[in-house]
Amino acid sequence: MSWPCPYLGVQEAVISNPIKDMSADERLHLISVSLNKRHRKEKQLKLAGLAAITLAIGFLVVLMTNIFSNGYTALLQSEVRIDINVPKAEILGADGAIDIQKSQAFNWNGLVKKSFRAGFPDVKGMSDRRMLNDLVSENAGYELRQAIEKDPSLIDQSSFWVKTSDDVDMLLKGRIKTTLPEKLRRIKDSQLVWINQLEQKNDLRKVFNTAFFTNADSREPESAGILGAIVGSAMVLMITIIIALPLAVMAAIYLEYFAPPGRLTDFIEVNINNLASVPSIVFGLLGLAIFLGFFNMPRSAPLVGGMVLALMTLPTIIIATRASIRAVPTSIRDAALGVGASRMQAALDHVLPLAAPGILTGTIIGIAQALGETAPLIMIGMVAFIVDVPTSVTDPATALPVQIFIWSDSAERAFYERSSLAIMVLLIFLISMNLLAVFLRKRFEKRW
Amino acid sequence: MTNPTKLSTHDLNVFYDEKQAINNISMAIESNKVTSFIGPSGCGKSTFLRCFNRMNDVIPACRVEGQIMMGDQNINDQKLDPVLLRARVGMVFQKPNPFPKSIFENVAYGPRIHGLVSSKSETADVVEDSLKRSGLWNEVYDRLHDPATGLSGGQQQRLCIARAIAVSPEVLLMDEPCSALDPIATTIIENLINELQERYTIIIVTHSMQQAARVSQNTAYFHLGHLIEYGATKDIFTNPADPQTEAYISGKIG
């Protein structure tokens, strides 16, 4: 050959090659020895993995059992039957219908308490009467009024089931130990006697705690519910999705397809990754300073909560979106560009539909994270005590995790069980969101 | 017999970052002929091919310097919108890459985005004609709305050809279109290239010397980013002027 060619030429083997020099038996023996070693290592790894998973599941079971055993009793609420004669003259107007103004002026609570005390004629003295009053919910009068205003025919009824106070409720659920010395009990000995009398007359019962699912927060545990928090959370998440999803997807597309490579783009990329690991309370501070402090937006509002959580969720969705865009084979993008699609068309028509399952999964995981977030909402005032279910995104509201936080911080034992039940509700929401993510991913993947 | 020049490059250099992939190549491609690019792996023939429809634009590290003339227009001008260029210079890739949509949607996509069809019936006509010209119609006419990914490799590649010719480009670039296909599918595509040549200027990159000899009228041999020899296929294969070309085509290297 007249010209040098890098591809040609055979080189002589000069060094001794131990593998080539050994016999076949020797070689097989060595391989089988090493194979045993490999099997052993594999087994060890398998066992370690199994142990880790067992431990994790064990902890999960302990956690779930704990929450459930604390919380399931909150599904029931104790009630006491009281014979009440509603004085119609003081409530009904001239036309025989309920006069709201008269009803408002009427002392419903006094009526309930008086009627209740009538069942215990031998109880005399101020302190005894007060202790007797304490067995009935402070909200009993208010709730009676609500019920009668809603259904005026009840006015003729002579006995009503009203809620007991939270202490009686706890006692009936076995959460107050009667073996404790009287000083350490919230239910005193005299009250125990009265409760026994009520039980013997069959005037006590436990019913499903509907108030928990139809009310907002309350000072009285027996009237406190999570509907306000659920609606608040739903509004917050709605705002979060509306703001974060389009922004994050657009940002991801821009960074993947259009951003000119350079220092600025690198800087943005690094910062997005950093933002994903910023503690959530910092986002709360940001919201407090900017949305509330600078823009004077309403305090405690789901609108602001949603905006803060959107900021927090943005990097998560951007990272997930970019990862799923990158997972789409470049051949698809090339194919689109090859027939003359613009870069935007290639991204929107071909890459995004293929990346959609990944984007959705990332979004739902980010949103689920936002659903469980407490700290930033506390910073913008969503930790307030709010007894109304919010009706618009600018109404003051709380969110589920914040509600749990508030209740778990309360002194009453009954709030403790309610916070456990609220945790269960929150977990159900989280699990269903994750299931939705799995379902959507499966569904969209099938189309291709 | 020479046809008018369709495309020509003048002192074309391509760099990947600092590494030079194409060195000063000047060549002219005849219209309505098949020109094949041959050479060992890594010699830059694919990179060179992708210059003709600016597909190198999507590789951030890639830099193309020099002139590529199509008519009296320099298509390497960064001010020129590559979208318009790609409607005139279609491309078929090495690995069949149909969109994960229906067969119909694959072919209809190009005409639609370029606004070449204005009604459903027009689109259907274009799809049918393109599939017929790519020789796929008889195999798929009854399942046009099935996913394209369900086709065999050879069918997918012909679908990609149909997709490319649906916008009636002037030039068709083919980057090793048969390297992932079996011999029968290869034969079908080679026959197809022969038929398409009447209407299109075709440039094909291939690793198969036999394929270059069978389908092309002109052949260019590349080595390490240099154009070593370029001429009529029969001259290159029977009487190569350069010893490197001779070594390659006679099977000593490559």
**Percent of chain A clearing pLDDT 70 (strictly above):** 96
Residue B69: inside a domain, yes or no? yes
Q: Can you spell out the DSSP letters for B131-151?
A: HHHTT-HHHHGGGTTSBGGGS
**Tokens 């227009």 belong to which residue?**
B73
How many other CB atoms are there within 10 angstroms of residue B78's CB atom?
8
What is the rounded average pLDDT of the residues A318-338?
91
Q: Per-residue pLDDT for A426 more than 60?
A: yes
Number of domains comprising chain B: 1
CB contact under 8 A, A338 and B91: yes
Pairing of strands A76-83, A159-163: antiparallel
pLDDT, residue A11, reads 60
Which tokens belong to B112? Answer: 């639609």
Residue B118: give its domain's CATH number. Answer: 3.40.50.300
How many other CB atoms are there within 10 angstroms of residue A298's CB atom?
16
Residue A48 burial (10 A CB sphere; 0-12, 13-18, 19+): exposed
CB contact under 8 A, B97 and A335: yes
pLDDT, residue A2, reads 43
Interface of B with A (CB under 8 A): 40, 53, 55, 58, 60, 82-84, 86-87, 90-93, 95, 97-100, 109-110, 113-114, 147, 149, 160, 163-164, 166-167, 243-244, 247, 252-254
- Total number of residues shown for chain A: 448
Mutate which of A2, A269, A339, A447 to test chain B, going by most B C-beta atoms within 10 A? A339
CA distance B241 to chain A (A): 14
> DSSP strand E in B163-245: where?
171-175, 201-205, 218-223, 226-232
Cα three-residue angle B229-B234-B236, rounded to 5 degrees: 20
Whether the Cβ atoms of residue A98 and residue A149 lie closer than 8 Å to each other: yes
Whether the Cβ atoms of residue A188 and residue A176 lie closer than 8 Å to each other: no
* Beta-sheet strand order (sheet of B5-16): B19-30, B5-16, B62-70, B73-74
CB contact under 8 A, A341 and B97: no
Q: Which of A412, A424, A420 is nearest to A222 (CA)?
A: A412
The beta-carbon neighbor of A331 closest among B97, B244, B254 is B97
Range of the domain at B235: 5-249
CA–CA dist A189, A153 (Å, integer): 39
Chain A residues with CB inside 8 Å of B243's CB?
Answer: 2-3
Q: B122 to each of A48, A76, B114, B116, B138, how far by Cα in Å?
A: 64, 68, 14, 9, 20
Residue B231: inside a domain, yes or no? yes
Chain B residues with CB inside 8 Å of A269's CB?
Answer: none
pLDDT, residue A443, reads 82
What is the rounded average pLDDT of the residues A221-243?
92
Residue B99: inside a domain, yes or no? yes
pLDDT, residue A165, reads 92
Please list the ranges in chain B whose pLDDT falls under 70.
Answer: 1, 252-254
Whether the Cβ atoms of residue B229 and residue B242 lie closer than 8 Å to each other: yes
Cβ partners under 8 Å of residue A213, min gap 6: A225, A226, A227
pLDDT, residue A30, reads 92
Which tokens belong to B5? Answer: 């020049």
DSSP-assigned beta bridge partners for residue B227: B222
Report helix, strand or coil for B229: strand
Model confidence pLDDT, tens digit, residues A388-424: 888 888 888 999 999 999 998 888 888 989 999 999 9
CB contact under 8 A, B86 and A339: yes
Q: Per-residue pLDDT for A5 more than 60?
A: no
Model confidence pLDDT, tens digit, residues A53-82: 999 999 999 999 999 998 899 999 999 999
How many other CB atoms are there within 10 angstroms of residue A149's CB atom?
15
What is the rounded average pLDDT of the residues A222-238?
92
Chain A residues with CB inside 8 Å of B244's CB?
Answer: 3
Q: How many CA atoms lie within 13 A of B102 on its CB side?
A: 11
Whether the Cβ atoms of residue B137 and residue B130 lie closer than 8 Å to each other: no
Residue B208: inside a domain, yes or no? yes
Whole-angstrom Cα Rg for chain A: 34
pLDDT, residue A1, reads 39
Model confidence pLDDT, tens digit, residues A239-262: 999 999 999 999 998 998 888 878
CB contact under 8 A, A338 and B98: no
Q: Per-residue pLDDT for A13 more than 80?
A: no
CA–CA dist B30, A315 (Å, integer): 52
Please state at what angle helix B153-165 crosses helix B103-113, rounded to 10 degrees: 20
pLDDT, residue A6, reads 52
**Tokens 């106070």 belong to which residue?**
A165
Residue type, B36: S
pLDDT, residue A401, reads 93
Q: A188 to each of A51, A80, A127, A135, A193, how far by Cα in Å?
A: 50, 18, 12, 11, 9
Chain A residues with CB inside 8 Å of B109's CB?
Answer: 336, 339, 341, 349
Model confidence pLDDT, tens digit, residues A275-327: 988 999 999 999 999 999 999 898 889 999 999 999 999 999 999 999 999 98
pLDDT, residue A436, reads 87
Which tokens belong to A271? Answer: 């910062």
State chain A's mean pLDDT as an integer. 89
CA distance B127 to chain A (A): 14
Residue B254: inside a domain, yes or no? no
pLDDT, residue A3, reads 47
Mutate which of B53, B58, B245 to test chain A, going by most A C-beta atoms within 10 A? B58
CA–CA dist A5, A7 (Å, integer): 5
CA–CA dist A67, A57 (Å, integer): 15
pLDDT, residue A446, reads 55
CA–CA dist A52, A57 (Å, integer): 9
